Chain A
Amino acid sequence: MTSRLAKFQSIWQSAPYAFAFIGAMVIFAITLIANQGSGAGQIVSAALAFGSFYALVGIGQMFVITSGPGNIDLSVPANIALSGAVAMSIMGGSDAMIPLGLLAALGCGAAIGCVNYALISVLRIPPIIATLSSSFVVQSLAIVYGRGLRITPPPFLAEIATGRVAGIPILSVLVIALAGVMALVLHRSIYGRFLKAIGQNMNAASLAGIRVGLVRFGTYVLCAIFAALCGVLLAAFSGGASLNMGEEYLLASIAVVVIGGTSVAGGFSNVSGIWGAALFLYLLVTMMNTLGVGTGLRQILTGLIIVAVITLAGSRRGVRE
């Protein structure tokens, strides 16, 4: 029993992303069997489209979580709601305004990231509380700003968000490419190295000459920008911004990070696992729908899977909260 657990943990440590992908494939297979083999293409296509949003917020959240224990961004959903609304209202349904609207939304995200880090660093508020309280304010802004906003997205943007080429969603191609870039940033850039160093041992990182504050600041802004981008695309995908469109992404963003094999103790993460977990989460929904499992049971299973994953993966290091 113990040795099996140890074996599991050793696989987990050498290829932490593997389980997310294996899980996704197993679930996919079950779904196909239940469907008698039909609709595979459709399922994959939908999974890629919906998984893109999970992946987007998940990547941002992953960078924050990588920066060490206690770091987390709870302002993601509010950010999505506000940025989506800002983008839609500035674009006003016109293709010509897309760059400006996108810029405004990303700028809005960056501002939220700045506020988050200011609360953490200047007021020394723990990240959870800091991002929680800023999310309250942002959510209010989103409600007020987005009230009665019924603007459809510009056609070009909508095409990008919903269009398919040979059955493959355009959006997913873009997000996969972005994920590739972010993987490069995480593993090969100086910033990525510094971030992982800080996540493992903030003290040692500072003594190794790393500007810890600057790196953490950049990370919170990065996460907020990713959430903002997700907000814009989500609004384009669903035919306009809505206030509660970010709601499910708080839990989802953390869930994909954990299932994707990132260490919640910080310093160890991978981007591909995020995609694996994103597909896994969506396919789980599809499978249970196919099997006729209701939303309730689906939620319960999702939750139990998160708890099981964290229990089996264990904390990589001792207590350091």
Chain B
Amino acid sequence: MTTHSQQQRREAMPGSSLQDSLVALSGVTKTFGAVRALAGVDLSVGPGECIGLVGHNGAGKSTLMQILAGTLRPTDGRYDLGGETVALSDVSVSKAQGVGIRCVFQELSLCPNLTATENVRVRHAALSGFGWRKRAAKLLTEALDDIFPGHGISPGATVGDLSLGRRQMVEIAINFIATESSHPRLVILDEPTSSLDQSVASQLLAYARRFVEAGGSIILISHILGDIFSTAGRIVVMRDGAVVADRPASEFDRASLVAAMGHVAEDDEDEALAHAAKARIGEPVVIARPPKQANGAAVSLHRGEIVGLAGLAGHGQTALLRLVQHAAYHRSRLAEVRGRIAFVAGDRQSDGVFPLWSIGENVTIRSLPALSRLGFVSSAREAAMEAEWKDTLKIRTPDMDDNILTLSGGNQQKALFARALGSDAEIIAMDDPMRGVDVGTKREVYERIRKEAGEGRSFLWYTTEFDELLHCDHVYVFREGRIVAELDRGELTEEKVLQSSFDEAAA
């Protein structure tokens, strides 16, 4: 619901002209190596605006916000702060903070070893000298009382001892604190309600509306569309690194918003994929229940199946895969795994690649016992496996003895696939493995997966790309750590997945 006064204001100054905007981006691009995260974005934020920012994973929302907040520098484009153009090389956090841009990121930036009051001091350098602690505690208590009446948080509590939700409340309150030297004028809230319960979340949204009415600006990123509709006056939709819609909230309804986020399937291989759902017969090889699941729903995987885990990033899919991986080696009360398992990491740096090793060593690590005699690895057999998989997956390298980091991201990912596919595993868990992989590589790997499944291997595939779900026999959609929908291949549509991924619940 947009308030009447807000709408009037917006109509009075359409599109909020660049002159009186707080921050304005035009034609901003950002590339990370070969990956283009932002492809020319225009966005301006004026005073007294609340912008709802929505988009699927990888649409570029976070990158855009980091550029607004000054933590990332744009590769190209124009960046205006308070009506003045800033040279791209001068873009910095302190510049952005200077005009009052504050940012509540998803990963908290509190120090867990300090009290809530002390964290206020770290963020606001002006709070020092005699009596700083009293002043900081007062500012924090006022902000908390203002935003979350009845919060019950003592400013003297150590942050590490607070629950996740309360930490989030402190983080939010700190960003709304005004000191003599710095006032918040634009606060970016990135999924602020993810760890707050319903009533607290609605307190925050109500505060956000008051803040905007008083002339402040807010950018709200949320997967709960109800929150966006109830709070934002203007909605910006991002897709594939670009803004695809930027209109008053009143011009959207739920269906049109979801439609704007999804993209038109441009794949020509859809035909081939439109296979009928297989009947699920026999004992499953994996049964796993998310820890937060209240009802009896569980992910089950049968022999020769490809099962997809869908939903927005970070909603419990990776945790479930790790649970399954763990259960293959240890006893677990949540998951049962019958068979050997291999894991294909999506976050290559932290979960997959051994950075000091050659491509070959990275491929064979999962299969060493099979390649050895009396505890020693046979060089010949190892080389044979390396050569075989270099050909099978067409890893583009002159030499498998080269360091793994000499490969492009896509080829590194192929090496990780080779590690799993070349092993003796009967079950392959895949953790959104196609992040940053080029189209050609993707096709090769999809084909391979379908072939392997046909031969009896089972795949548990977490993916954030809808097109990949089309390869699956069965799909589970996750939200907030729970399975919220279960779809057969036959009933799978992007609409349904998005509907389930974004929560209806209005605050």
Residues of A participating in the B interface, judged by any CB pair closer than 8 Å: 184, 188-191, 193-194, 196-197, 200-201, 203-205, 207-211, 263, 267-268, 316-317
A203: chain B residues within 8 A (beta carbon): 350-351
Task: Among A193, A203, A267, find the residue whose CB has the most chain B CB atoms closer than 10 A.
Answer: A193
Interface pair B354/A197, CB less than 8 Å apart: yes
* Residue B419 CB within 8 A of the other chain: yes
Q: Which of the residues B356, B366, B376, B379 comes within 8 Å of A208, measured between beta carbons?
A: B366
- Kindly identify, within residues 297 to 328 of chain B, every residue whose CB is under 8 Å from any CB belonging to chain A: 322, 325
Q: Which of the residues B322, B342, B355, B372 comes within 8 Å of A317, measured between beta carbons?
A: B355
Q: Which of the residues B322, B325, B345, B368 comes within 8 Å of A190, measured between beta carbons?
A: B368
Q: For the complex, what is the distance from the CA of A207 to the CA of B343, rounded to whole Å?
A: 6
Interface pair A267/B356, CB less than 8 Å apart: yes
Closest to B423 in A: A209
Q: For the complex, what is the distance from the CA of A316 to the CA of B375, rounded to whole Å?
A: 29
Q: Given contacts A207-B345, A208-B343, A211-B329, is CB(A201)–CB(B353) below 8 Å?
A: yes
B369: chain A residues within 8 A (beta carbon): 190
Q: Which of the residues A184, A188, A204 comes within 8 Å of B354, measured between beta carbons?
A: A204
> How many CB-defined contacts (below 8 Å) exist between A and B?
69
Interface pair A189/B366, CB less than 8 Å apart: no
B375: chain A residues within 8 A (beta carbon): 189-191
A193: chain B residues within 8 A (beta carbon): 361, 365, 368, 377
Interface pair A184/B376, CB less than 8 Å apart: yes
Closest Cβ of chain B to A233, distance in Å, is 26
Closest to A317 in B: B355
A268: chain B residues within 8 A (beta carbon): 356
Give a binary string over B47-78; 1 marks a CB under 8 Å from any A CB, 0 the rest: 00000000000000000000000000000000
Interface pair A201/B376, CB less than 8 Å apart: no
Q: Which of the residues A201, A207, A211 comes within 8 Å of B325, measured between beta carbons?
A: A207
Interface pair B356/A207, CB less than 8 Å apart: no
B132: chain A residues within 8 A (beta carbon): none
Closest to B369 in A: A190
Instruction: Please give 6 more A-B residue pairs, beta carbons under 8 A apart, in addition to A189-B375, A189-B376, A207-B325.
Output: A190-B372, A190-B375, A204-B345, A208-B366, A209-B423, A316-B356
Q: Which of the residues A188, A196, A197, A209 comes within 8 Å of B342, measured between beta carbons?
A: A209
Interface pair A188/B376, CB less than 8 Å apart: yes
* Residue B357 CB within 8 A of the other chain: yes
Q: Given contacts A190-B377, A197-B354, A203-B350, is CB(A208)–CB(B329) below 8 Å?
A: no
Interface pair B365/A200, CB less than 8 Å apart: no
Q: Given contacts A208-B343, A209-B366, is CB(A188)–CB(B377) below 8 Å?
A: yes
Q: Which of the residues B322, B353, B361, B368 comes within 8 Å of A204, measured between beta carbons?
A: B353
Closest Cβ of chain A to B370, distance in Å, is 10
B368: chain A residues within 8 A (beta carbon): 190, 193-194
Closest Cβ of chain A to B128, distance in Å, is 28
B354: chain A residues within 8 A (beta carbon): 196-197, 200-201, 204-205, 267
Q: For the complex, what is the distance from the CA of A188 to the CA of B377, rounded to whole Å?
A: 6
Task: Among B322, B350, B354, find the residue whose CB has the most chain A CB atoms closer than 10 A.
Answer: B354
Give a binary string over B321-344; 1 marks a CB under 8 Å from any A CB, 0 the rest: 010010001000000000001110
B325: chain A residues within 8 A (beta carbon): 207
B350: chain A residues within 8 A (beta carbon): 201, 203-204
Closest 10 A-B residue pairs measured CB to CB?
A207-B343, A200-B354, A190-B368, A208-B366, A268-B356, A208-B365, A189-B376, A188-B376, A267-B356, A189-B375
